[in-house]
Structure formats: structure tokens, C-alpha cells
Structure 1
């Protein structure tokens, strides 16, 4: 028992020691990550030195691309190290700030002094590592730029390489000299291929190759047709929106037209490989054939998706059926030429034929391409001539001028055609004088590659725009979910769809630029590296602005505005109705809360961008002078709006008169106030007008309305009787209040008539005018029933002769 317990204790001790030994490196690394970062930087520096030595010896594009990838990894390591070191520097600075500076005349405790010394040493080490990482990043970028420049220079040297011209005897003499050796090399390769086939057939693997061929036939013909028709039926019956149907069906044709033939070729290739009918000699040619078939299928499917030769209503390009039918054969010519180009170049390289065979093959490919491009240009010219003749005939028949837009489109096509003609002629001239590589580059890249890239991204741009704007539309299912579930306005959903479509299309445009620059010596890796440099951002002062930071700030701003919207909804729907505030006070409170929430959301977004409050205050102080002069009126209205919301001299629902306009206050914002007039029109008044000028507020302190009735009766009528009639009429009118009580006064006695001035009150100024009209009608009716003449003092105009006018003047003259 004792021995067994000893063994158990020994096992536990062994396990603990092993655990400590294993955990000690991790603990050291956790406690001091700076050492590991420094080690990684040293390794990355050695990698840069190795790449620099290798860059002087490489001579192929693939090797240079591999070196660029290694430099990208070094830059990523330097960036990660910088992030870690910045965090460690922040921790050290925080500790130094916690200890505080050295106070003159006071001696620190030994442990504090030792701690300060260790922190200073650690800060110096981290600062040195940060500088080393930045220098390493710069060195890696400079070396990558040098490799890219070497690649461009190599491409330029290949363009300047001159071979014998096909018009000179030297060209044909070189062919004659190199033919025996190349024929022997081809014969040996064919013998090896036949031997590999025989070995595979003896092994009984022929049925696998046959099965691969059957699968290829099924994939390449009936499966492809069936999938294309299934996509068309879905686009007609189930796809939402007319635009998405067209672009979606075009994308479906592109995908199926590319994938199915490529899979068919892959089935044949895998069947040959699994059956053992291929060897190491034919493997590069087989891989090139797969790529060639896939590329040719892509070009043919792209042309079919854009032209839609037999389905004009689904066509994306603005061309008629005749042009589509005329262009489609040339698309397949381009596809076959591209596949043949890839396959021939790979075959010549795999068979290791002579240099003469290489430039003869390039010359032949360039010649065939030139003939194809020339035929396409002649076809386009014939179509343009026919379209021009038809347009002129139609204009003569209808006696109407030609459409300017169509003329501009034809002019643009004419310019493009002229440029292609010039490039084609330059390529033909270069081929005739012996610059075969340059001629092949012009036909292969400057014309065909650009056409393929432009066509592809034209389709992608249209597809992305249609899909995004259809999904994020107010009428779509997603739009209904966002509108009902989240409460987003329909117009905001449409705006988001347009903005998202623009952002995605911008990204596709950047990818298109990368693809266009790839054949010109700027590979995909180097171009992406340059975009990555831009994506890493620019530094303005202490603020680093990058696309990622901008996207993060936009996301934070959107989240902040959404939270503000939810808070304001809770404030308006739940909290404010439980208070004793009236509608106007609630509106003022909600308006102030709304602007505070928006300001906080904006500040949050700026903070996520790296712009702190102190920088915002500095920016506002710098712009204060310009704001004071340039935005004086807006600032005045804004401050006046805040005063209105705070002091509330004018509230929502008040009946106010501004000048000659009178109406109800409907809305108060920080810039203006909306007043609904009697004719239901809206008067928009700047807030400064309500603060600095005289405003009559009829309902500010007392919501009662007052009506006034004035009339006169003859002097022989009893006044008490008239007064009682008026008071009885006021009492009978339901809109006239009993408190304050109505009153009727004798205002004056003029020219034998008694003038009455009567007053009454209603519950609102808005009802005083109808009540006054009703009271006047009842008073007139009662006085008519009593046969009392009501009206005003009659005035008479009398014209006197001149002598009577003089007599009256003399009679009234006080001097006389």
C-alpha cells in the first residue's frame, strides 16, 4: 500500500514538472511578447535579404511572382508586429504615466527607481523594434517595386526582340534548317505517347477512358442544353423583376456555358489519367488543353450571353437581331483562336522545340488573328453602312431629322473601330518587319484580352446592379421585411440599394483595372499589392484614414443612428405619453433629444475613425470664423430654433399672426417653423423672424377667442330692449361661452343713432369668426322681426352753388 502511494505521488510530481516545462515557454511568451516579435522581425529581415539575392538571378514571370508573394508575407509580418508593438508601447507608457515623472529634489525609493529604469529600457527596446518593422516594410515594398519594374523591363525587351521577317529569305532558311531537328523531336514525343497508350491498354484501363468520354458527351451537350433551358424557364416564371430576369439569365448562360464544357474536358482528361494512357510527356499538354477548352468555352458563353442571337428581348447590348447574328460567328472564331493559341504554345514548350519553331508558331498565330480581326472589322463596317443607309431612308420617308443620341452612339462606335483598325495595322506592320512578339501582343492582348475583360465586367456590373437594387427595393420581400420589422422608410431602402450597388460596382471596376493591367507587366499580385498599399490608408497627422476605417466608421454611424431611432421611438411612444407635458412640450423635448442623439452618433462614428473630441474641437475652432461669416443666417436660425424649443413663446397648435398672415403652428424645427394658413397652404418662417420680430400669439396664455359685433339703431328705440336681444342671441349660440359673460355696450350717440358695441367669448380663437357670423345673422333676424332699423349713421353728399358756399363761409367766419 505504501509503495503504491509512493508511485502515485511520483507520477503526480512527474506530471506537474512536465506541465510546468511545457507551460514555461508559453508563459514567457505571454509575459514578454516583444521578444517573439523581435525574433519574427529578424526572420523577416533575413527573408528580405534572400529575396534580394534571388531577384538578381530570376528570369521568368512565375519566379518573380513567387518572390513578390514572399515579400507580401514579409510585409504582413511587419504589419502584425507593428500592431503588437504599438499595444505593448501603450501599456509601457501607461505604466510610466502611473509612476509619474521624477520630482526634482526628491529621491525615489529603490524599487520605484528600478521599476522606472526597467520601463525606460523596455520602451527603448519596443521603440527600436517598431522602427525596425517600419524600415522592413519600406524595404520590402521597394524590393517589390523593383521586381515589378524588372518584369516590365523584361516585357519591353521581348517586344524589342526582332526575328527574321517573313518577307525575307532568312525566315524561310531558318525554318528549313530547324525542321529536321524539330521533326525528330516531335517523332520521339509521339513514340513516347504511343508507348504510354499501349501500356495503359495492356493494363486494361481503356474502359475508364471510354467512360470519361461518355460523361464528357453527356455534360457537353444534353446536360448543358437542359440546364440552360431550366434557367430560362425559371427566369420567365419565378425570377422577380424584368431587369433581373435578363441579367440573371445571361449570367446563368455564362456559368453553364463555361462550366459544363470545362467539366466535360476534365472528365476526358481524368479518364485518360486514371486509365494510365498518359505519361509525364503529355501531362503539360493535357493541362494546357483543359485550360484552353475552358477559356474557349468562356468566350463563347460570354458572347452568347451578351448577344442572345435568337432571343432579342433578353439581349443586354443595344443592338438589333441582324447585328447579333452577324457577330456571333466571330465570337466562336475568337474562342477557337484563343484555345488554339494556348494549346499550341503549351505544345511547343512541352516538346522543347527550337527557337525557330517558337517564333514561327507565334507568327502563324498572329497572322490568323490579324485575318480574324480584319474580317470582324469588315463585318462591322458593312453593318454600320447598312444601318446608316436605313436611318437616312427612314429620315427621308418621315421627313424628320436623325436622332442625335443614335448619331452620337454611331460616332462612338466609329472612333472605337478606327482605333482597332490602327492597332491591327500596327500589328501587321510589326509582323512584317520581324517584331513577332510585339505583333502577337497587340493582337492577343490589346484587342482580344481587352474585349474579353470589358465584356465580362459589363455583364457583371449589370447583374450586380439589377440584383442589389431589386433585393433592396421598397417593393421587394426584403424591403417589406425591413419596412415592417425594422421600421425603415421605403425611400431609405431604395437609397441603400443604390448605394450598395454603387459600392459593389466600384469594387468590380477596381478588379477590372487589375485584370486589364495584368498582361502589361503588372501582374495580379503586384497590382493587388498596390491596391493593398492604398487600402492600408494614408496618415494625416495622427489619424490614419483607410477604406477599412471608413467602412467601419460608416457601420458605426449607421448603428448609432439606428439606436438613436429606437430610443426616439421609445421616447415618443412610451415615455412622453406618461408625462404631464402637452403636445407642444413633447415635440420640443423630442426634437432636442433627436438632435442630441444624432450628434452623439456622429461623434461615435468620428471616434471610430480615429478622430477624438480634441481634434473635433480644434477643427470647429478653425472653422468658427468661416462659419460665423459664411453661415451666419443658418447659425442665427439654428440658435433661434433652440430658443423657441426651450422658451416656447410659440408652441405647436398656437394661432399666430405674422404680418398679414395668420395660421396654426404645425411644426417647429431648429431652422424654421411651419404655419398652416386658412387656405391650407404652409408658410415656412425662419426661426429668427419669430425671435427678433413682433409676433401675435392668440393662444399663448389664454386659449379663449373673442368676437365683436357693432351696429346702430335709431334714437327712438329703447336701448334696454336692444341689449336684451343681443344677450339673448349670445346665449342661444352654442359656441359662445357663459364665462366670461357676454356684454353689450352703448358706444356712442351720433347723428340721431345709438351705436352698440357688443362682445362675447368662445373656447378658441378659431371658432370666434363662425360664432360672430352666426350671431350677426340671428341679431339681424330678431331686429327685423321687431321692425327695428339697424345699420350705420347715414351720410349724405350735397353739392352747393358757389354763392351759397361763399355765404356759408362768411357766416361762419369768426372775424366777420
Structure 2
């Protein structure tokens, strides 16, 4: 019974699993319907008469079909893989003209036919996917061309006074429409009744909104400073940032409440609805800009500044940033609800804009003052940013200062080019250049503020704010934030969401490298598997280093070699597993290995030589960590042996990096490889006339009294030579720890000097006597210089000159003065002579 019950349960589970698998299997696309849509789409694109909205809708339909085809490419994938394995198990197909067994050939033919039948749906999906992808590319190309054409469209110049009358007329119509609609609704009895019925709700909403915009805004402006003053030092900056977000939330809620109150009142109709719908968004943008101005350029220095500008510069930059935020909010309402961009063509739905069409000349004139004002404020702000490298006191912000300087320089160029383009008539191009630049600068400010917040948060986690913003983790997170902001920059500068989706779709498809396709999914899989393997390797190394190896009899050098070998093996296995998990065929790496072998043969000989030498050092262990070695002219203690090089710490605490090839192929002296014993030689010189037997006895007594000297062999004293100044002796002994040789040598010298002074034995030293040859001539005055003898022509000229011009000659001038010279002779002597 139990066996029957288990069999029944297994059958039921099998049926449930099969049903679930069938439910998960994607349905086959309707290729007939797709063929009809594709033909229609290609005709619409070729006719070039469809509107942008029509093309966008068509593109969305084609993208849906492309997604279906992409899923259908995996149809029967499991069965196809099984059939391929079965065919491979039959062995390679016979060569042309060769034959194989009949049963094997029949089985191969049947499996091949089944494989072709199962591959047919996937091949159809691949073909349809390619066609859908081509249609999407054509639609995107058409939309981009239209967008570029609109941006480069030239409008009537706003500097022409003839266009001002059109602007005045259309502006008057706009004001009349807005004001007339309000008056008409107020005069309506139904509107007044509705207003009286909802008066209490409206009054409460208006009151709360005004309080949030007035008193609430001032209260939240002072709140960060109040709370941060009570927080601990490491939590102050992070807490102040979080609290400062209320400077955005509270006023924005006030604007929303006011907009809701106006909506409930019913006094705003069709003309006001587009403006009313955009009001909360514009308010949010303005308060974000105002918050950025306070965060970037605060009036009071509560902590580390994002840009450490002087107070006067911060005040000016804060004002300009706030004004730009207000202008950007106004531009957002004007360009969307009143004077939309894109050739000033009215959107299809009347809810998106006021029910009035401005002439192109009037729109150009009305846009121009806003462009000029925004450019002037942007110019002044960017001037401050461009000079930040000279004004900032904290020169540790080198990279940030460089970015700010580049942003300021680009903003100055934009603030000059945009008004000029608008004055010529390129209103769309000027708007598309100026306002995205302002928003982009705001996004750069947001990234800087967020990077500082991440650093402050890291300091809060570590409970130490010192250097937290420059730590590795905040820097890496800041880099990720910059990468995440790249799509936002693209959207700011006119990219469509569909363009980003298309870019992501292309990235997901990856790059074909032979039979393998490198995609973000494969790359992330490799990174994840490799990281896990690397962390496991480090954990295993730590366990061996701290728990397992210290309990064995392996010396320190052997333990280090084992731990290093585990690390290299773990990294190799983690890399291998990551490559395999990513779907890369290892056999395809043979070409890469061949190319690397050529590169190794030509340019990486030294690196490979050091690598192989490092492995030899870790396996044979001629030197280990802690050994005292001598390589060339360098001596020191081995601190670390890696694959490429070995680090030696000299006795003056400097580190020397020695390539492993030098340690394997060169001559190396290892003073402490087998043991720490070593011989110490202490030379001693005594004066001539000393009792040599007494000297020998004293030196032997001192050597035998040294505790670190070995008894076998015992210390010895040798009478080495008759020197030019002294009788030379040597103490020779074997120390149990040669690392203490220098200190023992010094201690023995002290003892030798003390014992020799007690015994009356002199230690000679060299003396030198200096003789001066011409000591009497050094103190005499120098005689006058002798005039040179005149040539014959000069003598005649002198004799012909008047007597008054001839100078008398002193007697004895024709005699040369004795030369003045001095010399030194050095004579060496000894104190015992």
C-alpha cells in the first residue's frame, strides 16, 4: 500500500510540474498579425507623413512584438540541447566518401530531423526579431531627425521692433483670457455656491499652506543647526543633511495644499488648469534648487564644506543659485503651458496648454527676456565656479575643484552663446542649450552633496568622522552614484526614455565574441561568482593562518608559503568558476592564450621570469620570511615573499623590493636560514710594548663571559699582526643569535676599554704634525705690481708725448718682486714615539 501511495504521489507531482512547465512556456507569436503590422509600419515610415505621436504609438507596438520574439527564441531550448548531446554521443559525422554503421547512421538521421524540426520556431523568432529591431531603429532615426530639425529652426528675431507688437497683442490676449475666465467664474452663481459650500475646507488648506510656506519654511531652515548642535561630532553632519531635507518637503507640501485649495474653489477654469497642474512640480524644482544653494554655499559653517569658498563668494553664489532655480521653475511653466517648444506648435490635447495659439514672432519675443536673464545669472555663477580653484582654501579637494572649474568654464560659454543664438532667431536651440545646462549644474551639485552625505554616513557607522569623506567605501559609492546619474543627464539633454530603453536592450544583447556573447548579465555573473570565490579564499587563508598552521611544527616561512599558495590557488579557481558560470567556453580561450604567449615571448619575459622565480622560492624555500639575507650590496630581513618580488627591510628601516629572478639566479647570502648562529669577530689594537699574554688573557676572559657565546666551539683570541701603529688582536666566537651581533660587539668594546684602563694597557691612536715652510713671508705686505714693459711703437708714442703726460719711473721697477707662496707638509707620528 505504501509503495502504491508513493507511486501515485510521484505521478501527481509529475503532472503538476509538467502543467506548470507548459504554463510557463511562452505562447507562439501570431506571425500573420505581425506580418500585417510590420508591413503597415514600414509604409508609414516611408511615407514620412505621420505625426510624432503616431510614430511613438507605432513604435510601442513594435517593441511589444520584439519582446515576444525575443522570448520565443528560447522555444524548445532544453530539448534542443538534449538532442545535440545525443548527436555528439554518436561521434563525429563520417567524412565525405566514408560510411558508418547502418544503425548509427539511421539514428543520426532521425535525431538530425528532430533537431531541425525543434529549431524551426526559434529560427522564425530570430528572423522576426531582426525585422522588428530594424523597424524600431528606423522610427528612432525619424524622430531624432525631426527633433534636430525643430531645434535648428530659425524664428523671427526678437530684436526686430516689428515683432514686438505681435508679442504685446498676444500677451494682452493671454492676460485677458486668464483674468476674464476668473471673473466669469466668480460671477457665476453656481461657482459662488460651490465656493461657499467648500469655504471651510478651502480656508483650512490655504491657512496650512501659507503657514508651511511662511513660518514653516523659516522654522525648518533653522532646524538643522539646532539639532546638529546637540548631536555627537561624528553624527552631526549626517543628521544635519537628513533634517535639511525638510526644507524641500515642507514648502512643497504648502504649494500642493494651495494648488488643491484653488482647484476646489472652482474659480480657475480651462485657461488656468495647465498652470495649476504644473505648479506643484515647479515648486518642487524651486525648493530643490534653493536647498542646493544652502547646502553648497551655506552662510554658517557647521562642518566640512562641499566647496570651501570665502563667505562673500558663498553668499553671492547662494543668491545666484536660488535665482536660477526660480527662473528654471518659471521657464518650465511658460514653455509647457503657455509657450511650448518644438516650433511653438500647440499640443494635441487642450489640457496641456492654455487654449490660445501664439504667433511665432510673439513667442520668440516673449522667450527672449527669460533667456537673457537666465544667461546673465548663469554667467555670474559660473564665474565664481571657474575661479573656485583660486578661492578655495582647502586644497585637498583637487579633483572636485577640477570638476567645478570645468563646469564653470562650460557654463560661461553657454551663457554667452545662448543669448546670441536667441537674438539671431534660434529660440528653440537657445532654450535647449541654456536650461538643460542649468539643470545639469544642479545635478552636479546634487552628486557632490550626496557624496559628502555618504562620507558623513560612513563616519557615523565608524563613529569617527576624521577623513570619512575620503575613505575608500564612500569614494566607490560616489562613483556608482555618478554612473547612475548618467541616464538622468541624457534625459536632461533631450534623450527620450525609449532611447534609454533601446540602449539597455542593446546592452543586454551584448557583444558577440565568436560563439560567446558578452552581455551585462554574463559580466555581473562573473563578478559575483569571482567575488564569492575570492572572499571564501580569504576566509580559508585566515583560518589556516590563525587557527590551523600555528598548531603545527611548520616554521613561519613555511606557514607563509602555504597561505600564499592557498591564495593563488583560490584566485585561480574563482576565476575559472566565474568564467564558466558566465557561459564562456574555455576552449575559445585558446586563441587568447596563444596571443598571450606571443606577448609573453616578446614583452613580458621579466614578469614571467619573476613569477616563475616566485613559485620556486615558495616551493624550495631557500629563503623564508624573517631570514637575514644579503643580496648584492643590500642586507636586511625578509618581510614578504610574493609571486613577483620579495620585500626586504634593511636595518635603517627602509624597504627594498627585490625581483624574484635576482634571488633565484643571483648570489644570495642567508645568515639565518638553518639557524641563527653566526661568528662574531672583534678586532682590538694595543700599543707597542704591551704585555701580549696579559692582553690575550683579558680578551679571552671577556669573550667567555659573554652569555650568548657558544661553549662549543669556545671563543678564541688571536694575535693577528704587527700593525704600523699597534699590535692587532682578534676575538672570534660563535653567537647563538647573530641578530644581536652589533649590540654584543658594542657591549664588548665597553668592557675591553674598562679592563685595559684598569690594567694600564694603552690603545694607540694616530697623530699628525703639520709644518709651515714660509711662515715669515705670510705676514709681510704684498709689494706693488710691476708695470709691463712697453712695445717699440708704444715707446715711441710715449717719448713723443708732452713731458707733463709722462709718468716718472721709480727706481727698481724693473726688478720682479719675490714670489709669495706657502706650502704644508704633513708628518705622521704615533703617541708612543
Equivalents in 1 of 2:582, 2:87: separation in Å? 27
1:23 deviates by 10
Which residue of 2 is the match for residue 813 of structure 1? Answer: none
| Residues 210 and 600 of structure 1, relative CA distance in 2, 3 Å threshold | same
SS in 2 for 1:360: coil
Match of 2:486 among 505, 509, 515: 509
Instruction: Kindly indicate whether residue 541 of structure 2 is the aligned counterpart of residue 550 of structure 1.
Output: no
Matched, 1:561 2:551: no
1:79-158 equivalences under 5 Å are 79-100=70-91, 104-108=99-103, 113=106, 116=108, 119-152=111-144, 154=146
Distance in 2 between residues matched to 1:285 and 1:627, nearest whole Å: 75
Could you tell me which runs of 5 or more consecutive residues in structure 1 were left unpaired when the two chains were aligned.
Answer: 1-15, 389-402, 431-438, 482-489, 793-816
Query: Structure 2 vs 1, CA of residues 456 and 664 (structure 1 numbering), >3 Å: closer, same or farther?
Result: closer
**From 259, 272, 279, the counterpart of 1:293:** 279
Residues 423 and 105 of structure 1, relative CA distance in 2, 3 Å threshold:
closer
CA distance 1:597–1:408, change in 2 (3 Å)? closer
Equivalence for 1:811 = none
For the 8 Å contact 2:686–2:764, the answer to whether it is kept is: yes
After superposition, where does 1:338-377 map in structure 2 within 5 Å? 338-344=332-338, 358-360=356-358, 363-377=361-375
Q: Equivalent residues in 2 for 1:459-608 (5 A)?
A: 459-472=445-458, 475-477=459-461, 494-518=471-495, 523-608=496-581
Name which of 57, 63, 66 aligns with 1:66: 57
Residue 265 (1) aligns with residue 259 (2): yes
Corresponding residue SS for 1:683:
strand
Gap change, CA 1:88 and 1:256, over 3 Å in 2? farther
How much has 1:300 moved relative to structure 2?
2.7
Q: What SS is found at the alignment partner of 1:628?
A: helix
- Between 87-96 and 559-568, report the one with greater CA deviation: 87-96
Residue 67 of structure 2 is matched in structure 1 by 76
Shift of 1:734: 1.7
Aligned to 1:485: none
What's the CA shift for 1:370?
A: 1.3
Query: What TM-score results when the alignment is normalised by the length of structure 1?
Result: 0.71
Instruction: Give how far 1:135 is off.
Output: 2.2
Aligned-partner Cα distance in 2 for 1:171–1:720: 123
Question: In structure 2, what is the equivalent of residue 6 of structure 1?
Answer: none
Change (3 A) 1:423 1:225: farther
Q: 1:673, 1:687 within 8 Å by CA — same for their partners in 2?
A: yes
Match of 2:419 among 407, 416, 421: 421
In the alignment, structure 1 residue 689 sits paired with structure 2 residue 675: no
With over 3 angstroms needed to count, the CA separation of the structure-2 counterparts of 1:406 and 1:771, relative to structure 1, is: closer
What is the correspondence of 1:372-771 to structure 2 with a 5 Å cutoff? 372-377=370-375, 414-427=412-425, 439=427, 441-442=428-429, 444-448=431-435, 450-451=436-437, 453-472=439-458, 475-477=459-461, 494-518=471-495, 523-708=496-681, 726-744=699-717, 759-771=732-744
Alpha-carbon contact 1:713-1:788 (below 8 Å) kept: yes
Q: Which residue of 2 aligns with 1:237?
A: 227
Contact (CA 8 Å) 1:636, 1:688: kept in 2 or not?
yes
Give the structure with the larger helix fraction.
1
2:796 is matched with none
Q: Indicate if the aligned counterparts of 2:177 and 2:271 stay in contact, CA closer than 8 A.
A: no
Q: Tell me the equivalent position of 1:433.
A: none
Moved more, 209-218 or 490-499: 490-499
Q: 1:689 to 1:220 in 2, by over 3 A?
A: same
CA contact (8 A) 2:690 2:762 kept: no
After TM superposition, give the deviation of residue 508 of structure 1 in Å. 0.8
Aligned to 2:643, the other structure's residue is in SS state: coil
TM-fit CA distance, 1:571: 1.2
Asked if the contact 2:419–2:430 (Cα under 8 Å) also holds between the matched residues in 1, the reply is no
SS of the residue corresponding to residue 599 of structure 2 reads helix
Q: Determine the C-alpha separation between the residues in 2 that align with 1:728 and 1:387.
A: 80
Q: Write the deviation string for residues 193-251 of structure 1: whole angstroms up to 9, x where unpaired.
A: 799x766777x785347514632541354267526733652366348688768876776
Cα separation, partners in 2 of 1:681 and 1:357, compared to 1, 3 Å: closer
TM-score using structure 2 length? 0.70
- C-alpha spacing 1:692/1:545, structure 2 compared with 1 (3 Å): same
Equivalents in 2 of 1:334, 1:184: separation in Å?
25
Return the alpha-carbon distance in structure 2 between the equivalents of residues 514 and 461 of structure 1: 16
Counterparts of 1:276-291 in structure 2 under 5 Å?
A: 288-291=274-277
Go from structure 1 to structure 2 and tell me whether the alpha carbon gap of 1:778 and 1:67 turns closer, same or farther (over 3 Å shift).
same
CA contact (8 A) 2:623 2:673 kept: yes
Write the distance in 1 (CA, Å) between the matches of 2:723 and 2:339: 121
Residues in 2 aligned to 1:618 and 1:728: alpha-carbon distance in whole angstroms = 74
For the 8 Å contact 1:704–1:764, the answer to whether it is kept is: yes
Work out whether residues 529 and 581 of structure 2, in 8 Å CA contact, stay in contact via their aligned partners in 1.
Answer: yes
Residues 641 and 668 of structure 1 are in contact (CA less than 8 Å); yes or no, is this contact kept in structure 2? yes
- Cα RMSD of the aligned pairs, angstroms, is 5.5
SS in 2 for 1:501: helix
Q: What CA distance in whole angstroms lies between the structure 2 residues aligned with 1:767 and 1:384?
A: 66
Q: Quickly say closer, same or farther: Cα 1:87–1:230, change in 2 above 3 A.
A: farther
C-alpha displacement of 1:577? 0.8
Counterparts in 2 of 1:370 and 1:248: CA distance versus 1, 3 Å: farther
Equivalent positions of 1:195-344 (< 5 A) are: 207-208=197-198, 211-212=201-202, 214-219=204-209, 221-222=211-212, 225-226=215-216, 229-230=219-220, 232-234=222-224, 237-238=227-228, 252-266=246-260, 268-269=262-263, 271=264, 288-308=274-294, 312-313=299-300, 319-322=313-316, 324-325=318-319, 328=322, 332=326, 335-336=329-330, 338-344=332-338
Q: Relative to 1, partners in 2 of residues 1:598 and 1:756: Cα closer, same or farther, differing over 3 Å?
A: same
SS in 1 for 2:646: strand
The 2-side partners of 1:24 and 1:408 are apart by 66
Q: CA deviation at 1:699?
A: 2.1
Distance 1:170 1:678, change over 3 A: closer
Assess if the C-alpha contact under 8 Å between 2:516 and 2:583 holds in 1: yes
Question: Deviations along 1:741-797, whole A, 9 cap, x unmatched?
Answer: 33456779999x9987653322111234444554565566656666678999xxxxx
* Cα displacement (A) at 1:720: 8.2
- Deviation string 1:229-284 (CA, Å, 9 cap, x unpaired) is 33652366348688768876776544544454235424543x36xxxx69xx96x7
